[in-house]
Structure 1
């Protein structure tokens, strides 16, 4: 019997992870995470905030009630407890709040969207576990993209082509963290924007895009275009609903990314492995 899919439930500030997927950072965390139905995780820095256990909520930080966004996250915990088999919010997206705040932090204004032609990307309220990436981290995608990725990877394997995921869904807060880390290493905002879209504008936010690699090839490098995996994707990815987002000389100012592919909807119904 195929196991039931696992889901990540999203709020603007806090994620609800299913128990058993997060790595413990202490013995106390390990005991709580092992028994948790869901773990409340702060999106800004990945801090574990609380564990929803069979006997109730276990805070993992002091002053949990003061945590920004906690009331909305707890309301979702209680809703899941009332409807343990339900999937509240599937197919919906989160509000695009705090967008201006994040752009202001990077010295960007509303003209960024006009200059690049990039669209705002809302975060899904629900994401599905689509396997694990090449670092064995959980890979989260929208449910439709998760099914598409699994079909795509199976079809490639039938043709003796190995594909693996490098990364999938990223929150707005995580995207801002990428900029902060690169700025700390001495890069300018202009340099970073040639590789990473501004927070709120990355295709990864929507849960339909993922970076794809193949064993033996460095992740997210232009040399991926010389691999059998890339040749296979060029010929077959569209059959499964995937398209490369950033070809050479794309109008968005993003560097050529042969590894970045996005699921655009239902794949060709005739597409089959082989």
Structure 2
């Protein structure tokens, strides 16, 4: 892995099927990948399974998989490689959104109807942003990607907590629609039915994590994403101070969405 990039000065370009990762934030998978990633500026990473498809070195594309030309979404990803990220307008950060790409197919694979699910839960469809900001790493030392506004707020929130001797750590930030579908598929493979999974995870396309505005927060020594987090000094600090940084807890007890109590899940809103 290369030297870590500076938070907020590094971005993830997002397309419907493929993410454009800064090569320095990826771990090599084998010696051949290591040599190529050491020279690369960008790596095309398939969202569905995280597979590295190609590396961009000095403007040249180097395939990391057979039949790269047939990879779904390659043309869109290459357009993103060639076009500079126009993420500032009138001096302000601008984040666009992607189309709700093949979402009905994803939900259909789970036997869900988008309109019926939305009506039952009160949750709305959440498009993915076209780029995200690097906000440091999570508790597993993985790159943490967030909407630029949420990234800034998270770094300020974490620093303020630390000044009060409270250590906050990120558990999870941005998740793509494909990643959310993978959560369901893995849990189904373990024998859980869709209704049981929906009590804990929003359906693909409906998670606040898709927008890069939601953050699961924990603290060292505490199991991640467990309701026991409620009894920690870190949660008490968040309850008292997070609102001042734009974060609110999305799923309190008896929330109207049918999702279990999640004291670790906080959403940023600039309003």
TM-score grouping bracket, smaller chain normalisation: over 0.9
Map 1:114-129; keep pairs closer than 5 Å. Answer: 114-129=119-134
What 5-or-longer segments of structure 2 have no aligned partner? none
Which of 62, 72, 79 is 2:76 aligned to? 72
Show CA shifts across 1:69-95 (max 9, x none).
000101111113xx7xx5489410000
TM-score by length of 2: 0.93
2:180 maps to what in 1?
175
Show CA shifts across 1:94-151 (max 9, x none).
0012111011000111200000001111100010000000000000000000000000
2:150 maps to what in 1?
145
Q: Shift in Å at residue 49 of structure 1?
A: 0.5
The answer to whether the 8 A contact 2:87-2:95 is kept is no
In structure 2, distance between residues paired with 1:220 and 1:21: 25
TM-score by length of 1: 0.92
Q: Shift in Å at residue 55 of structure 1?
A: 5.2
In structure 2, distance between residues paired with 1:30 and 1:87: 30
- Measured on the aligned residues, the alpha-carbon RMSD in Å equals 1.5
What 5-or-longer segments of structure 1 have no aligned partner? 267-274
| Alignment pair present for 1:224 and 2:229 | yes
1:262 maps to what in 2?
267
Q: Secondary structure at the match of 1:135?
A: coil
| Alignment pair present for 1:17 and 2:16 | no
Q: Shift in Å at residue 19 of structure 1?
A: 1.4
The answer to whether the 8 A contact 1:141-1:168 is kept is yes
Q: Secondary structure at the match of 2:235?
A: helix
In structure 2, distance between residues paired with 1:90 and 1:139: 19
Q: Secondary structure at the match of 2:24?
A: coil
Map 1:1-274; keep pairs closer than 5 Å. Answer: 3=6, 5-54=9-58, 56-80=60-84, 87=87, 90-109=94-113, 110-265=115-270
Stretches of 4+ moved more than 3 A in 1? 86-90
